[in-house]
A and B are shown apart, each in its own frame.
Chain A
């Protein structure tokens, strides 16, 4: 043990990290995506500090549908709320829903994928038929059906785990409909990993199936899960925006999709209020594009055909 251990671990870990970052950042897309994402991730948690509390019709400060000016950098909406204020607050809601939905999707997808791939046989067949079911089902349509039903049953009031019902339902629905993609990728990787000799060695060492899956297979799946996770986030943002745009969002916690929906209903497009539609629209575009760029760059970085994974 002693000091030599520490020296080696730092050296080995730091070198691997440095190599990964150099490779990853050599992609132009990764740089653009990372800059945009960091910007939004800094803005999202602290809207109150940046633009003050969320404005409502009651504490609105500006004129109706005023174009961008020194006072309101992104103009105002139909009840005089500052659009910048709404967009910054919307970032928090949109990103929270998308990221949590992705976490659900990755957990379910990885669990199903590893189990199906590792056990094979009948377990594999049944789990993959289930996956196929979710795979071919358009997640958007499912979300569209489930959301109003749940809202009807539980009402729009109250809170579930700190969320108001409609964002909560949206995030669960997105999570449950986007895992099939992850499950297929994880399964195919597991199929090839489980034939490797170190799995035999682990079995001879007395490791249980669960421990082999968690300690041997899962760590070797991290590259694929990370790369596809980024793509799942991009999809989640898109679905969240669409559902909110169709009016399934929560007006009291407006996400970017809710804002687009409000703008649409206020006739922003025909009134020429481009700032009202444009601001949340550009945000959605930028964030999902950055996740796609980062996901593709991660995929390229980890791609065994370009780079041999040790």
Chain B
């Protein structure tokens, strides 16, 4: 496969969680609804590419990550990994080759570590389960290498430690080491730094970027923080209520956003600088609607300052507004 081909391709991916209707709904013949957590997403991730998935809480960004790591099952659409359809593959043994290539970094490093496992056990687990090493010395070598890449030096000092003996930053490094021990082609990082002190964030981000540079690993970086996404990503995808509203290069999305939601997200972010101030800060009006009752037409129209009649009737498709830059807004048409 050529190096330019995408490592992961999501084609109108859909995750709907059915709502269990009550007895009354059954009797009255009311249709049971569904929570449309992810409602048709097309996204490509290239080899060695860092893609940021940005959105508010409830936008479905974590669900996308869980589908890619096969922790959740899509209800529609397709997921192609290195050209192979992985949509319906299930079961731990059938997924072994896929797990070898796709790993995950979790938001809360403390919750992600079994309190009764040592650091060595944590990092060795994927190597053992996926049967990637032949003997004990090889295992020790791979674990040391992963810990060192994640910035835990000297690795041997950490082998027998338990999670509660580590600081927050060290725990997140252990989680990262566990993910990269198998040398995957794609890592899904779900808000990997949001639980960390600002001073430690930069170090963890450096580790992630170094991985891409050294091993050509692709990274799907899930975050709610637009400036952070710009800092780390090549490409940014903005998610609103289960649908991508804008996707483009990090610079385009940050400095030339074409969707009112992206603009609103940017304006809601405090900036430090001469011409910035409290007056510049404009929050978004209202709350994200429930994914169980997605608004008709453009799903952003109830909160959009620029909405007009068409927005309430028809859902805008993804419209090309520049090279590799799409926006799902009628104003862009």
Task: Enumerate chain A interface residues (CB-CB to B < 8 A).
Answer: 1-2, 4-6, 8-9, 12, 196-198, 200-209, 211, 215-216, 219-220, 309-310
Contacts and interface: CB of A to CB of B under 8 A. Distances in A.
A9 B121 CA distance: 13
Nearest to A222: B116
B81 to A, nearest CB: 14
Given A205-B130, A211-B129, 13 more contacts: A5-B156, A6-B160, A12-B165, A197-B112, A198-B113, A200-B71, A201-B106, A201-B175, A202-B125, A203-B71, A204-B99, A204-B104, A310-B163
B63 interface: no
A211 B157 CA distance: 27
B160 A208 contact: no
A202 B116 CA distance: 13
Interface of B: 69-71, 92-93, 95-96, 99-100, 102-104, 106, 108, 111-118, 125-126, 129-130, 140, 156-157, 159-165, 175, 178-179
B114 A207 contact: no
A276 B280 CA distance: 92
Contacts of B112: 197-198, 200-201
Contacts of B161: 8, 12
Given A205-B125, A208-B129, A197 B159 contact: no
B160 A216 contact: no
A207 B71 CA distance: 13
B183 to A, nearest CB: 14
A12 B71 contact: no
A309 B103 CA distance: 28
Nearest to A207: B129
A201 B106 CA distance: 8
A12 B96 CA distance: 34
B71 A197 contact: no
Contacts of B92: 203, 206-209
Contact of B159 (A1, A198, A205, A219): A1
Given A204-B71, A208-B93, A310-B162, A2 B156 contact: yes
A4 to B, nearest CB: 5
Contacts of A202: 114, 125
Contacts of B126: 204-206
A209 to B, nearest CB: 7
A211 B130 CA distance: 12
B157 to A, nearest CB: 5
Contact of A198 (B70, B71, B111, B160): B111
B164 A310 contact: yes
Contacts of A4: 156-157
B156 A216 contact: no
Nearest to A198: B114
A128 B117 CA distance: 30
Listed from nearest, the 5 A-B pairs whose CB atoms lie closest are A205-B126, A206-B129, A9-B160, A197-B111, A206-B99
B107 to A, nearest CB: 8
Nearest to A210: B92
A12 B160 contact: yes
Nearest to B97: A206
- Which of B96, B102, B162: most chain A Cβ within 10 A? B162
A258 to B, nearest CB: 43
